[in-house]
Amino acid sequence: MDAQKKNVVVLAGCQAITQVKMSMLIAIAGLSGYALATDKTWATLPVTIYVIGSALATLPSGTYMKRHGRRSGFALGATFGIAGGVVCAAALWLESFLVLCIGTAVLGVFVAFGRAYRFAAADSAPQAFKAKAISLVLAGGIVGGILGPNLANWTKDMMPGLAFGASFLAISVLSALTLLALMPLRIPPLTAAEQAEPGRPIGEIMRQPTFIVAVTASAVGYGIMNLLMVATPIAMHHHDYPFSNTAFVLEWHLIGMFAPSFFTGHLITRFGALKVMTVGAVLNLVCIGIALSGETVWHFWASLCILGIGWNFLFTSGSALLTETYRPSEREKTQSMHDFVTFATMAVTSLVSGAMLSHEGWGWHAINYGSLPFVCAVLIAIAWLSAMRRGGVSGTASG
């Protein structure tokens, strides 16, 4: 196996472990917050803090990895994952909402490093393989879709009198496994010249139409997915569905998110990122339509499955499109800015999700209706860049 394919396998394994932890966190953080918060409006604040922690750590994590290498950065992130799980478990024992928020913030730092797995694979791949490398690494997340919600369900009562305490400790154990999984990783470092070259200012990079569309697709895709996914456990709780039903819905949502990754890269290579983005946005509209048509378990299941597929198409194609916008010396800061905008959007949607669910007269339907303008914004952005390219303008500084 050549080094490029070996890196993809290693990074897909790390993505799998990471997604198990993230899916567990999504399944249990909102419910843990709901149990500890005095004002239930703030039930999803721990998830919001987790996303804010990710956003704030994204740019520093990129700087660290440019100086010290990808593997060192991923290992540092895993240590934050170990610490964060322990702090969250301690919060439940102390019955402290504040400590729970601190713990999820620490877990967010881990995620900021782990989000770069897909870009690390693309950086060491030839141009023709970049989209497939990103897609295959994301495919590792299907393990999280299958194991994460079930592991949360299996461990939630493992510590008597401390619901989800063992689940958070399992996140720490999985973070330790990530350190072992990283050992075979070999990412070529930047050359001395690339290290020394400052590259273009980030503002100039961000003004490229291709960057704008890539970030819009990723941020809106992730924002809407997060808005609905975070709201789902609480919405189902309001309907008195047992946690096993919630775990089932989230499991299939996560399978929908990552199973398409086995062929999304091929679709992008064959049809182009913009066409795959368009399909992703349309699938988001279908998801919203199903969610608004009823609130049975099967409505939640179908809408969340389709939401996951739509996210996959938007986020994978957005990430692939981004690789057209930077030079080697600019990759970490460009990738970090892309993820910073995405995480900032997620932070807003996490907080809004809990507030809208708890507001009398709003709830699940309002969340879905509120998503519609943002999906339309993605379709408008895609049409804009497509028109530019038909006119012979690539949308990047080099074109």
Tokens (6 digits) for 93: 């024992």
- 48-62, 69-83, 286-300, 357-371: segment of lowest average pLDDT: 357-371
Percent of the chain topping pLDDT 70? 94
Say if residue 398's pLDDT is above 70. no
Per-residue pLDDT, averaged over 290-318, amounts to 95
- 230-239, 354-363, 376-385: segment of lowest average pLDDT: 354-363
Give me the pLDDT at residue 106, please: 96
Q: How far apart are CA 170 and CA 168, in angstroms?
A: 5
Q: Are 342 and 215 a contacting pair, CB within 8 Å?
A: yes
Tokens (6 digits) for 250: 């989230």
Give me the pLDDT at residue 125, please: 78
At the topology level, CATH places domain 3-390 in Growth Hormone; Chain: A; (1.20.1250)
Higher pLDDT, 235 or 284: 284
Say if residue 360's pLDDT is above 60. no
Per-residue pLDDT, averaged over 134-155, amounts to 84
Per-residue pLDDT, averaged over 94-121, amounts to 93
Written in H, E and C, the secondary structure of the chain is CCHHHHHHHHHHHHHHHHHHHHHHHHHHHHHHHHHHCCCHHHCCHHHHHHHHHHHHHHHHHHHHHHHHCHHHHHHHHHHHHHHHHHHHHHHHHHCCHHHHHHHHHHHHHHHHHHCCHHHHHHHCCCHHHHHHHHHHHHHCCHHHHHHHHHHHHHHCCCCCCCCCHHHHHHHHHHHHHHHHHCCCCCCCCCCHHHHHCCCCCHHHHHCCHHHHHHHHHHHHHHHHHHHHHHHHHHHHHHCCCCHHHHHHHHHHHHHHHHCCHHHHHHHHHHHCHHHHHHHHHHHHHHHHHHHHHCCCHHHHHHHHHHHHHHHHHHHHHHHHHHCCCCCHHHHHHHHHHHHHHHHHHHHHHHHHHHHHHHCCCCCHHHHHHHHHHHHHHHHHHHHHHHHHHHCCCCCCCCC
pLDDT category of residue 61 using cuts at 50, 70 and 90: very high
Give me the pLDDT at residue 358, please: 64
Per-residue pLDDT, averaged over 242-268, amounts to 88
Ramachandran bin of 69, using left for φ above 0, alpha for ψ from -120 to 50, beta for the remaining angles: left
**Would you list the domain boundaries of the chain?**
3-390
What b/e readout covers 390-399, taking b as 16+ CB neighbours within 10 angstroms? eeeeebeeee
Torsion of CA 56, 59, 63, 65, to 10 degrees: 80
Per-residue pLDDT, averaged over 61-66, amounts to 89
- 9-13, 214-218, 236-240, 268-272: segment of lowest average pLDDT: 236-240
- Pick from 249, 251, 230: nearest CA to 241: 249
Say if residue 33's pLDDT is above 80. yes
pLDDT category of residue 329 using cuts at 50, 70 and 90: confident
pLDDT category of residue 251 using cuts at 50, 70 and 90: confident
Greatest mean pLDDT among 65-69, 142-146, 219-223 lies in 219-223
What rounded mean pLDDT belongs to the chain?
88
Q: How far apart are CA 397 and CA 2, in angstroms?
A: 33
Residue 226: CA count within 13 A, CB half-sphere: 25
Tokens (6 digits) for 229: 């996914």
Give me the pLDDT at residue 127, please: 77
Give me the pLDDT at residue 306, please: 97
Q: What is the pLDDT of residues 179-222, one digit of tens each?
A: 999 988 887 766 666 666 778 899 999 999 999 999 999 999 98
Give me the pLDDT at residue 343, please: 80
Give me the pLDDT at residue 365, please: 85
Say if residue 361's pLDDT is above 60. no
pLDDT category of residue 233 using cuts at 50, 70 and 90: confident
Q: How far apart are CA 91 and CA 85, in angstroms?
A: 10
Percent of the chain topping pLDDT 90? 48
Residue with tokens 């170990």: 82
